[in-house]
A and B are shown apart, each in its own frame.
Chain A
Amino acid sequence: MSVLSFFQWCAGSALGTAIRDSRWLFPVIEAVHLLGLALMGGLVLLVDMRLMGLSMPRKPVAALAREIQPWLIGTLAVMLTTGVMLYTSEAMKLYYNGAFWMKMAFLVSAIVYTFTVRRAVLAAAETRVRPVWVKLVALVSIALWAGVGIGGRAIGFY
Chain B
Amino acid sequence: MPLLSVFEWLAHTRASVAMTESIWAFPIVESIHVLSLCLFLGMTTILDLRLLSLVMRDLPVSEVATRLLPWTAAGFVLMVVSGALTFLNAPVRYYESLFFRIKMAALMLAGVNAWVFHAGIWRRVASWDRDAVAPFSARLAGGLSLVLWACIVVAGRMIAYRWFDKVK
Contacts and interface: CB of A to CB of B under 8 A. Distances in A.
A42 B45 contact: yes
Interface in A27-60: 27-28, 30-31, 34-35, 37-46, 49, 55-59
A154 B42 CA distance: 21
A55 B154 CA distance: 29
B21 interface: no
Interface residues of B, number: 30
Contacts of A46: 42-43, 46
Interface in B33-48: 34-35, 37-39, 41-43, 45-46
A44 B157 contact: no
Interface in B81-138: none
B104 to A, nearest CB: 17
> Interface residues of A toward B: which range?
20 to 34
Contacts of B150: 35
B37 A59 contact: no
Contacts of B30: 153, 157
Given A35-B153, A38-B41, A45-B39, A59 B58 contact: yes
Given A45-B39, A49-B71, A34 B45 contact: no
A33 B67 CA distance: 27
Nearest to B158: A27
The winner among A42, A71, A146, A157 for most chain B CB atoms within 10 A is: A42
Contacts of A67: 55-56
Contacts, number: 91
Nearest to B41: A38
B148 to A, nearest CB: 13
Contact of B34 (A31, A40, A45, A153): A153
B42 A43 contact: yes
A22 to B, nearest CB: 13
A44 B42 CA distance: 9
Interface string B4-43: 0000000000000000000000010011001101110111
B42 A45 contact: yes
Contacts of A59: 56, 58-59
A56 B69 CA distance: 11
Contact of B157 (A30, A39, A55, A154): A30
Contact of B38 (A30, A45, A64): A45
Nearest to A149: B35
Given A35-B150, A42-B46, 16 more contacts: A27-B161, A31-B157, A34-B154, A35-B154, A39-B41, A40-B38, A41-B38, A41-B42, A42-B43, A42-B45, A45-B42, A49-B71, A56-B56, A56-B67, A64-B56, A157-B27
- Listed from nearest, the 8 A-B pairs whose CB atoms lie closest are A42-B42, A41-B38, A38-B41, A38-B37, A31-B154, A157-B27, A153-B31, A31-B157
